[in-house]
Amino acid sequence: MALTTHMNRDQLLQRISDVALLRGEFTLRSGRKSTYYLDKYRFETQPDVLAELGKLFAEKAKAAQVDRVAGPELGAVALAAAASMFCGLPFVLVRNQKKGYGGDKLIEGVVNAGERVLIVEDILTTGSQVLEAAKVLEAAGCKVAGICGVINRQEGAQQNIEAAGYNFDALFTTEDLGIKA
């Protein structure tokens, strides 16, 4: 069955909240404690949500005039693939570490020196993981044209990414989800 949904911004935000916003006590990747958790896999594995996010990221890629989309493993793999399908640009995956066999590389897919790349990410808290991906792409000779996440938790990621010299954008913030800092 083909996917033919269309959601406006508010409907997409509500859908993400419904499937992925968990309340309780959680420890985040950064080590911080939180009273809520946004489970990226709960929204990224929903075809309707993934398609809408792919469309939004495709618009960002076209606006940034990039040659390629990149997604850090593992959370942004589906997002990069969806964006690629909607904008018609190839994508690459950026590994956290070399796998130790096969090509043993940090970038999966083809990337060429001089290309402009948009990095897409799921949830941005401090931005540390996406900044590592940016360094890997730059080491391969790419120009990181921007970093765009699905949700900015508003806990330092934007400041850290901009301080490192990158353009930052997010489709939504935790405030959009009704979460007060």
**Contact residues for 1 (Cβ-Cβ < 8 A; gap 6+):** none
C-alpha dist (Å) from residue 88 to 67, 110, 135: 10, 15, 25
Give pLDDT tens digits for 36-53. Answer: 999 999 999 999 999 999
Q: And the tokens for 181?
A: 């800092």
Q: And the tokens for 60?
A: 């960002």
Give pLDDT tens digits for 86-134. Answer: 999 999 999 987 656 556 689 999 999 999 999 999 999 999 999 999 9
Q: Which amino acid is at 178?
A: G
Q: And the tokens for 12?
A: 């997409």
Give pLDDT tens digits for 58-88. Answer: 999 999 999 999 999 998 999 999 999 999 9
Q: For the chain, which domains are there? A: 54-173 (3.40.50.2020)
Q: What angle do CA 26, 32, 34 make, to 5 degrees?
A: 40
Look up the pTM and report it. 0.92
pLDDT band at 32 (very low <50, low <70, confident <90, very high): confident
Q: What share of the chain is helix, strand, coil (3-state, %, to 5)?
A: 35, 25, 35
At 77, is the secondary structure helix, strand, or coil? helix
